[in-house]
Structure 1
Amino acid sequence: MKLNELLDGHTHQVLQGSIGTRISGGMHFDAHRMTRGSLYIAVPGHREGGPEAITRAVELGAVAVLVEGTGVVVPDGVCVVGVPDIRVAASAVAARYYGEPGRAMDMVAITGTNGKTSVSYMVESVLRIAEGARVGVIGTAGSRIGDDPVPMPHSVLTTPESPDLQYLLGHMRDRRTGSVVLEATSMALLTHRVDDAHIDVGVFTNLTQDHLDDHGTMESYRNAKLRLFQGLCRHAVVNADDPVSAWIQRLMPGAGAVTTYALDTDADVDYRATDLSMDATGSRFTLHHQGRTYPASIPVPGRFSVSNALATVAACHALGHDLGALVAALRLMPPVPGRLERHVTPLGTSVIVDYAHSPDSLEKVLTAIRGFATAHVITVFGCGGDRDTTKRAAMGEIAGRLSDHCVLTSDNPRTEDPGAILDQITPGIAPTGTPFERIPDRSQAIRFALAAAGPDDVVLVAGKGSEPHQIIGEELLPFSDIAVVRQLADELSLSRSGAAGAIPR
């Protein structure tokens, strides 16, 4: 398409060259990904691009450059167009270039502090099981259609930048994907990545402390989440147990635009769960909807898991899928990788790997484990570096209060000193009186916990879930919690067969 066609209807100013330049090689924020015929979007402050990388982008084949404002120096012979807000323009231009792919599929976007990945996996699973549907997933674990990954350059972003997101949606549409479920982070919403995704159902799970390093205050964090419900989605599915749901109900226009679900409220909600019971293998409950009841179960323990199941059923039903078939499919779902993922060691210890990396999520996971644990609970956890420091002591207090023994270790330390991070967790855990170790090396910390655990104990390895890497300094090093657990459990079983563990009984 020609650049003038991509920008038609959007405020812009031609600064150099011909706006009739044809774009044939896609578009990116990253200068090093330019190819012949591509559009370079020079986002200020972008780590792999920005205005300072324009010359490099042109050398690699960019035929046009989109900039914010007017004061940018660009090599001669290249079309340059200025826009008032480059991220808003980028989303619109990318969507138009790939043919507005979101319009061709049922689009579900999930936002909230916790539960985004779990609900996205659940939505995909129940649609596949209930109807054999072809579903695309975009989120923390990357992008895939069913079991087939979509090859993309590695990124730590849960929600891709708008050019990549629109490319992925176009790829999924072209492969006859009927539905797409994506995780919409607060920063993605704030930076307009999903503005033109044409979301049919927006799901809100909850709001608890996290990402204050990005947003500064809980109010700003909440407002970023609320953007999904300010014209970006057609229908909302909201957790009425969270007070933010009232904000969303005021924002969404028209009768019937909001569907509610809840566990803890007696108020009139559209989907409700009662009679909850759970053990290490899963949860059972009764689902209520419009005066009817449905016996339901999921292969995941925890009240919050039941809440996620309600969100899943409500979102899929809002898209027009049969409720009875959806509830039946819940029972057959595979476990969500890295979300209360259970491994039983050869010696009989239950190990739970979970992504819990905020105070609320850690407390919910440990509360769920306490609900079925018959012996000691040993928790291995840390806090991410270069991220919100205010939650570190709080997580220490929660782990100490709900565990019998803790092992403090590195999460993704990034550029921070791992020992300094542990220093900030310690003031929270020390007053609880729970014994704890400080072992910065994550593999060695997991080894210690497994060696200390007895056959009936539960070891929680929290913070990274299904992440396949650990970020140390600027490097992404291969590291999988569940893979390390399996390897170390097998090694220890050979050397400690019949032992009872090191935690005092």
Structure 2
Amino acid sequence: MLLSELLRNVEEKRITGFRDVDVSGLAYDSRLLEPGQAFFCIKGLITDGHLYALDAVNKGASVLFVEKEPDDEVCREVPLITVPDNRRALAACSARFYDEPSCEMNLVGVTGTNGKTTTAFLAESVLGESGLVTGLVGTVEKHIAGEVEPVTRTTPESLDLQRLLRRMVDSDVDVAVMEVSSHALELHRVDYCQFDVVVFTNLTQDHLDFHISLEEYFAAKRRLFEEGEFGRHRTALINIDDRFGRTLHEETSLPRISFGIDSRADIRATDVEVLPTGNRFNIRYEDKEIAVRTRLQGRFNVYNCLAAAAVAIGQGIGPESIARGLERLAGVPGRFENIDRGQPFTALVDYAHTPDGIKNLLEACRDVTEGRVIIVVGCGGDRDQSKRPLMGRVGTELSDLCVITSDNPRGEDQEAIIEMILEGIRGRFGPQRYKVEVDRREAIALAVREARPGDLLVVAGKGHESGQIFSDRVIPFDDRKVLGECLSASLHK
């Protein structure tokens, strides 16, 4: 693609040494750059891509996109495109390079603190049940017309995302469902994606290390529901049982459909039964009613089902396909996932890692067991510190035994993180209500030893993740595998 064509979407730019060179590809990591590609100097949280501009030119970069002109004369041997925000420029050029793939299929965006992954899986299941060829971009995995691939982050960088969407179009995908994180919105990863449907699940405290305040966090989410770049013909689907959802429903100028259980929503669940084997409820909208039987447990999954049903209703899919699609999904990896090794109690793994997520998780656990509830939980390092005491308090208050342990400590001291969690516990609960074990494997083993027949044990926080992140390394660690090993060991003693 000629540089002049690549620049069509880039509105603010200053060009130095322009030559209409042929650009063979795009790169934001100099280690992956190939000769002839444009290199984007991205400022990250840890390093700055401008430090690698010379390396990129020496490797054969055909053009440099920068926010500040480099001092090295060698860098001036290629065209320099100076822009105010290179992440936005990368998104613009990526969409252009891959010929705007989101315009060639329907695109559904799901945002919110909790429920994005399960909602996306459910929506894809329902859409697929109707006969559509589907794609999925999410935290756990990505799907392209039935093929499953692993992922590294909730929403990929804009270049990787546009490449993925083009692959979906080339695979004849009719509709793709994408989890859209607040980071992705703030860092312009989904800019120039043309959404047809946008879903708001809920908003509770999380990511305040990045967004500073809950209001700023909400503002990032709200961008998806504002007039402008994310598609001219979007329909907004909003959970109005959530207080931020009600605000969004009142403020957005997009065509909107509400869903909920407790409110008079356009699409609502009635006659809700939360059972150990799953949920039963009816979905009512317009003059129609759908009887739903799902294997997903917990009241929070009723909301996820409603959101997915709203997506399907907006696509004109009939009640029968909606009911079958919701029933077909047996579960999502690392979300209320049952680990059964023949033990006389229930053992689960879940991704809940916010105070509200832990609350919903433990309430769901109470709904499906008459025995005690034991939870293993920690908090990630280099993330929102203000939620740590809240996590400890909620985890202990709503369980019979809370085992505090390490999560992904990253660059922080594990014991210091645990001390902050304990600030929400000490003075409120007796020592019989909680235990501390820094080593996560030992904490899981401890919880298994504490469990009695009929109890429910849940390991929370990491869900589907396959590694534990330290400052200098990532070690293999899958809660599902470790819990299974501890359960098997307990049965063979």
Shorter-chain TM-score above 0.5: yes
TM-score (norm 1): 0.92
Residue number among 420, 425, 435 corresponding to 2:421 in the alignment: 425
Q: Report the CA distance shift for 1:49/1:138 in structure 2 as closer, same or farther (over 3 A).
A: farther
Residue 439 of structure 1 corresponds to 437
- Give the Å deviation of 1:415: 1.0
Pairing 1:477–2:478 present: no
Q: Bigger CA drift: 289-298 or 112-121?
A: 289-298
Pairing 1:40-439 to 2, within 5 Å after superposition: 40-45=39-44, 47=46, 50-70=49-69, 73=72, 75-128=75-128, 130-150=129-149, 155=152, 157-230=153-226, 231=228, 232-233=230-231, 234-253=234-253, 257-265=255-263, 267=264, 269-430=265-426, 431-433=428-430, 434-439=432-437
Q: Bigger CA drift: 69-78 or 53-62?
A: 69-78
- Give the Å deviation of 1:68: 1.6
Q: Report the CA distance shift for 1:93/1:251 in structure 2 as closer, same or farther (over 3 A).
A: farther
Q: Percent identity at matched positions? A: 38
Is this contact kept in 2: 1:411–1:464, CA < 8 A? yes
Q: Report the CA distance shift for 1:351/1:216 in structure 2 as closer, same or farther (over 3 A).
A: same
Q: Counterparts of 2:45 and 2:458 in 1: how far apart (Å)?
A: 36
SS in structure 1 at match of 2:424: helix
Q: Report the CA distance shift for 1:214/1:32 in structure 2 as closer, same or farther (over 3 A).
A: same
- Give the Å deviation of 1:69: 4.2
Is this contact kept in 1: 2:8–2:96, CA < 8 A? no
Is this contact kept in 2: 1:378–1:405, CA < 8 A? yes
Q: Deviations along 1:132-166, whole A, 9 cap, x unmatched?
A: 43322112124232552447xx74x3111111111
Q: Counterparts of 1:47 and 1:55 in 2: how far apart (Å)?
A: 19
Is this contact kept in 1: 2:296–2:330, CA < 8 A? no
Is this contact kept in 2: 1:43–1:49, CA < 8 A? yes
SS in structure 2 at match of 1:416: coil
- Give the Å deviation of 1:494: 1.0
SS in structure 2 at match of 1:410: coil
SS in structure 2 at match of 1:8: helix
Q: Report the CA distance shift for 1:71/1:192 in structure 2 as closer, same or farther (over 3 A).
A: same
- Give the Å deviation of 1:71: 5.5
Q: Deviations along 1:293-323, whole A, 9 cap, x unmatched?
A: 2211221111110001000010122123223
- Give the Å deviation of 1:188: 0.8
Is this contact kept in 2: 1:345–1:351, CA < 8 A? no
Q: Deviations along 1:408-460, whole A, 9 cap, x unmatched?
A: 11111111111111111112123122522211111111111112211211001
Q: Counterparts of 1:78 and 1:144 in 2: how far apart (Å)?
A: 38
Q: Report the CA distance shift for 1:182/1:486 in structure 2 as closer, same or farther (over 3 A).
A: same
Amino acid at match of 1:79: P
SS in structure 1 at match of 2:290: strand
Is this contact kept in 2: 1:28–1:164, CA < 8 A? no
Q: Cα RMSD (Å) of the superposition?
A: 1.8
Unmatched runs of 5 consecutive residues or more in structure 2 = none
Is this contact kept in 2: 1:32–1:48, CA < 8 A? no
Q: Counterparts of 1:440 and 1:41 in 2: how far apart (Å)?
A: 41
Q: Counterparts of 2:421 and 2:260 in 1: how far apart (Å)?
A: 33
Q: Deviations along 1:75-107, whole A, 9 cap, x unmatched?
A: 242221112222222111100100100111110
Q: Counterparts of 2:177 and 2:472 in 1: how far apart (Å)?
A: 30
Q: Report the CA distance shift for 1:144/1:57 in structure 2 as closer, same or farther (over 3 A).
A: farther
Q: Deviations along 1:330-349, whole A, 9 cap, x unmatched?
A: 11212111111112331221
Is this contact kept in 1: 2:276–2:297, CA < 8 A? yes
- Give the Å deviation of 1:8: 2.1
Amino acid at match of 2:464: S
Q: Report the CA distance shift for 1:323/1:252 in structure 2 as closer, same or farther (over 3 A).
A: farther
SS in structure 2 at match of 1:276: strand
Pairing 1:16–2:6 present: no
Residue 2 of structure 2 corresponds to 2
Q: Deviations along 1:6-40, whole A, 9 cap, x unmatched?
A: 1125232112341x11111x212222110121111
Is this contact kept in 1: 2:135–2:144, CA < 8 A? yes
Unmatched runs of 5 consecutive residues or more in structure 1 = 496-505
Amino acid at match of 1:455: P
Q: Counterparts of 1:42 and 1:282 in 2: how far apart (Å)?
A: 49
Q: Report the CA distance shift for 1:146/1:343 in structure 2 as closer, same or farther (over 3 A).
A: farther
SS in structure 1 at match of 2:370: coil
Is this contact kept in 2: 1:31–1:49, CA < 8 A? no
Amino acid at match of 2:203: L
Is this contact kept in 2: 1:31–1:48, CA < 8 A? no
Q: Counterparts of 1:4 and 1:474 in 2: how far apart (Å)?
A: 43
Q: Bigger CA drift: 67-76 or 305-314?
A: 67-76
Is this contact kept in 2: 1:17–1:77, CA < 8 A? no
Q: Bigger CA drift: 317-326 or 142-151?
A: 142-151
Q: Counterparts of 1:450 and 1:60 in 2: how far apart (Å)?
A: 54
Amino acid at match of 2:67: E
TM-score (norm 2): 0.94
- Give the Å deviation of 1:48: 6.1
Q: Counterparts of 1:346 and 1:61 in 2: how far apart (Å)?
A: 59
Q: Counterparts of 1:435 and 1:139 in 2: how far apart (Å)?
A: 36
Q: Counterparts of 1:287 and 1:226 in 2: how far apart (Å)?
A: 27
Q: Report the CA distance shift for 1:209/1:139 in structure 2 as closer, same or farther (over 3 A).
A: same
Q: Report the CA distance shift for 1:47/1:5 in structure 2 as closer, same or farther (over 3 A).
A: farther
Q: Counterparts of 1:383 and 1:183 in 2: how far apart (Å)?
A: 23
Q: Counterparts of 1:88 and 1:251 in 2: how far apart (Å)?
A: 26
Amino acid at match of 2:14: Q
